[in-house]
Amino acid sequence: MIRIMNIMQKVIRRVQKYIYRKRLKNKDFTIISNSCWGGVVYNMLGLRFDSPFINLDCDDKDFYKVATNLKTYMSYELKFVHSIEKYPTAYLGDVLLRFVHYHSDDEARDKWNERRERIHYDNIFFLVSDRPNGDKIVTDDEIRAVAELPFRGKVVFSVRDIAGLNYLVKLDKDIEGDFVNIYMLDKTSFLKRWRWETKFDWVHFLNTGEVKK
């Protein structure tokens, strides 16, 4: 029975991916995110990684800083530093990046530089959440400030109710605080879809820049 269920899940997942890919009209875009969301989306759509923000993360305060001055930060070169972590870490200007899924400085640098050249500055989609990444809680004002970012599409995963923000997508609350759970690990029980897939039409978002719930 378990084997049959696993086969059914894989078949249904393939059908879902096929539908996603058929619906997608906008195929040359850049995702800016400090979670694994961008890489997962590119993979599901069968697209090349046209963003350097793949397989890495940084603290929220640094991520917002890069997002508000993207072209300036993209003009900087990475400066790798020694770390007790098992993955490469590097400064981009005054911002520390953690290349959590890379094995060496050279690999991280090569992938960063290669994908940095692919950025579609006129077709950027930005995602952040209210889940703390670093030692600072994301504030309501920071979530409101996302509206000012000069990107085609913006979305914030949050547990909060903030009036007037059409880019806010509510997800379940983490048991450890007033912020979303680890949404890149949270999947539905049978079909194994990420729950964020069920909360908004993310393909429509990539086609139009609009958050449709």
Q: Is residue 86 part of a domain?
A: yes
Q: Please report where in the chains the tokens 């949404």 appear, as a residue.
A: 183
- Please write the tens of the pLDDT for every residue from 34-93: 899 999 999 999 999 999 999 999 999 899 999 999 999 999 999 999 888 899 999 999
Specify the higher pLDDT residue, 42 or 138: 42
The helix (H) or strand (E) run that includes residue 204 is: helix 202-208
- The Cα 93–Cα 186 span in angstroms is 34
Q: Is residue 64 part of a domain?
A: yes
Mean of the per-residue pLDDT values for the chain? 94
Q: Is residue 90 part of a domain?
A: yes
Check pLDDT > 80 for residue 186. Answer: yes
Beta pairing, strands 168-170 & 95-98: unpaired
Q: Is residue 140 part of a domain?
A: yes
Q: Is residue 108 part of a domain?
A: yes
Range 98-107, long-range pairs (CB < 8 A, 24+ positions): 98/56, 98/57, 98/58, 99/55, 99/56, 100/55, 100/56, 100/57, 101/55, 101/56, 102/55, 102/56, 105/80
Pull the structure tokens for residue 38: 């961008």
Q: Is residue 213 part of a domain?
A: no
What residue numbers bound the domain in which 97 lies? 2-208
- The Cα 41–Cα 203 span in angstroms is 9
Q: Is residue 45 part of a domain?
A: yes
Phi, psi of 180 (to 5 degrees): -65, 155
Q: Is residue 37 part of a domain?
A: yes
pTM (2 decimals)? 0.94
In the chain, the number of structural domains is 1
Residues β-bridged to residue 95? 92
* Amino acid symbol at 198: T
Burial class (CB in 10 A: 0-12, 13-18, 19+), 201: middle
